[in-house]
């Protein structure tokens, strides 16, 4: 396709609570969003950021150069609607070359980000649903999961539109597979298969053979959420074994590729934790105020998105001895999280200096970035806004 570029839509405004400059990178009458929070969207040496957008009544992949605001269209098609609906929320980057991977319906597509040029790598079986993609640290394989659709219920499911059918899918215990697809094309291999709803396949950013997957479903009903898998041996094990009554989730790899962050609730209340992939070096502490999603590169600084309608702020926590400081407000987001494309999903940039998030504060979902201040302790405490 011919590369189409668009002038900057960037606007910078001081946050009304903190005064911190917040940069809106998109401004269109249709939702725009960055990738899911477990997936890095920065490429070209950190100069460009991927995002999906519903422009011209079609959903395509774009990139933006924050330094100039210039927007580049990277695909020229559309996403199918239910029951095979997919989203660029699911997309991922190759960590060793500027190539992206995404589902368009049941087709898994590789995209050269500099031409751009598409290659179809794989087509999922018609009776299986697809989910988030992740690439191995050496750039050789895309890992993901497939789950068989539950018969006559499939047509009514709208996972991207408010999780309609979420619990029904969990109760169906569908046949699910963790698969790997070569990024250069070739035979697809099933790494693991079982009758449980599998999702959130996350590859370690540094350890080529390690990944996690989850047993998806309502957190308080899932007996064990986080699982590890060694691609070289096929071994599967529990990560952070759960006790009855605990709700754990939103796991993600930290920057070292050895530790996994997560949050949830135990009998003691909200907790934030980090644990080695082999269940060593575990840290789990009471957490002052919860959020819907969290991200961090390590335990030093954690970003969360509060909760829509209750405390709709980008929040920061710092490690403080054997605990965490109370949350401080970086900026207001007012995101509704009404559909998956408007979830806030904050994520630190690879260098940890800024945070990308999505918000429909103005009615449509838009992509924002905000820098992390040098002195976080100057930001207001959340407690002052409750």
**Domain residue ranges of the chain, discontinuous segments joined by +:** 1-75+297-386, 79-287
Same CATH topology for 1-75+297-386 and 79-287: the answer is yes
| Residue 62 CA to its chain's centroid (Å) | 17
- Which of 1-15, 44-58, 62-76, 95-109 has the least mean pLDDT? 1-15
Q: Using one digit for the tens of pLDDT, what is the confidence trace for 127-140?
A: 999 999 999 999 99
Q: Which CATH class is domain 1-75+297-386?
A: mainly beta
Is residue 161 reached through a cis peptide bond, with omega within 30 degrees of 0 on the bond before it?
A: no
Residue 156, pLDDT score: 63
**β-strand partners of 233:** none
Superfamily in which the 79-287 domain is placed by CATH: YVTN repeat-like/Quinoprotein amine dehydrogenase (2.130.10.10)
CB 137 within 8 A of CB 257: yes
How many Cβ atoms sit within 10 Å of the Cβ of residue 234? 10
Q: Is 262 helix (H, G, I), strand (E, B) or coil?
A: strand
Residue 350, pLDDT score: 97
Q: Over pLDDT 70: what percentage of the chain?
A: 96
Give the C-alpha separation, 110 to 141, whole Å.
11
Model confidence at 67, pLDDT cuts 50, 70, 90, reads: very high
The burial of 57, by beta-carbon neighbours within 10 Å (0-12 exposed, 13-18 middle, 19 or more buried), is given as exposed
Model confidence at 40, pLDDT cuts 50, 70, 90, reads: very high
Question: pTM of the predicted model, to two decimals?
Answer: 0.96
CB 122 within 8 A of CB 128: no
Give the C-alpha separation, 364 to 124, whole Å.
31
How many Cβ atoms sit within 10 Å of the Cβ of residue 23? 17
Average pLDDT over residues 147-162: 71
**Residue of 242, 241, 247, 178 lying closest to 217 (CA atoms):** 247
CB 175 within 8 A of CB 193: yes
Q: Using one digit for the tens of pLDDT, what is the confidence trace for 214-262?
A: 999 999 999 999 999 999 999 999 999 999 999 999 999 999 999 999 9
Give the C-alpha separation, 366 to 30, whole Å.
9
Answer yes or no: is pLDDT of 37 > 80. Answer: yes
Torsion from C-alpha of 97, 296, 338, 376, nearest 10 degrees: -120
Q: Using one digit for the tens of pLDDT, what is the confidence trace for 320-365?
A: 988 899 999 999 999 998 888 899 999 999 999 999 999 999 999 9
How many Cβ atoms sit within 10 Å of the Cβ of residue 346? 29
Q: Using one digit for the tens of pLDDT, what is the confidence trace for 252-305?
A: 999 999 999 999 999 989 999 999 999 999 999 988 888 999 999 999 999 999
Give the C-alpha separation, 174 to 194, whole Å.
8
Residue 373, pLDDT score: 97
Helices assigned H by DSSP within 35-185: 166-172
**β-strand partners of 285:** 272
């Amino acid at each position: 396709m011919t590369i189409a570029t668009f002038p900057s839509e960037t606007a910078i405004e001081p946050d009304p609570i903190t005064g911190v400059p917040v940069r809106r990178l998109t401004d269109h009458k249709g939702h725009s969003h960055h990738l899911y929070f477990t997936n890095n969207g920065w490429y070209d040496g950190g100069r460009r950021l991927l995002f999906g957008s519903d422009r011209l009544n079609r959903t395509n992949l774009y990139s933006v150069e924050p330094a100039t605001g210039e927007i580049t269209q990277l695909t020229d098609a559309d996403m199918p609607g239910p029951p095979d609906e997919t989203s660029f929320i699911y997309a991922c980057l190759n960590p060793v070359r500027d190539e992206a991977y995404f589902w368009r319906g049941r087709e898994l597509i590789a995209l050269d980000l500099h031409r751009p040029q598409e290659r179809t790598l794989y087509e999922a079986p018609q009776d299986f649903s697809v989910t988030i993609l992740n690439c191995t640290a050496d750039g050789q394989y895309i890992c993901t999961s497939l789950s068989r659709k539950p018969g006559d219920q499939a047509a009514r499911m709208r996972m991207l539109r408010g999780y309609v059918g979420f619990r029904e899918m969990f109760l169906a215990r569908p046949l699910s597979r963790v698969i790997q697809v070569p990024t250069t094309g070739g035979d697809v291999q099933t790494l693991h298969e079982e009758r449980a709803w599998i999702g959130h396949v996350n590859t370690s950013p540094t350890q080529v053979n390690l990944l996690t997957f989850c047993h998806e479903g309502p957190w308080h009903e899932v007996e064990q959420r986080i699982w590890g898998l060694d691609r070289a041996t096929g071994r599967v094990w529990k990560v952070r074994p759960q006790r009855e009554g605990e709700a754990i989730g939103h796991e993600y790899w930290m920057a070292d590729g050895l530790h996994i962050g997560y949050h949830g609730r135990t009998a003691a209340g909200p907790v934030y934790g980090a644990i080695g992939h082999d269940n060593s070096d575990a840290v789990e502490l009471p957490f002052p105020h919860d959020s819907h999603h969290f991200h961090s590169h390590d335990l030093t600084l954690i970003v969360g998105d509060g909760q829509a309608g209750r405390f709709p702020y980008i929040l920061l926590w710092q490690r403080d001895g054997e605990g965490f400081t109370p949350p401080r407000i970086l900026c207001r987001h007012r995101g509704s999280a009404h559909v998956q494309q408007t979830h806030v999903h904050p994520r630190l940039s690879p260098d940890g200096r800024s945070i990308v998030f999505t918000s429909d504060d103005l009615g449509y979902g838009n992509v924002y970035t905000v820098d992390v201040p040098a002195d976080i302790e100057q930001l207001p405490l959340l407690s002052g806004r409750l």
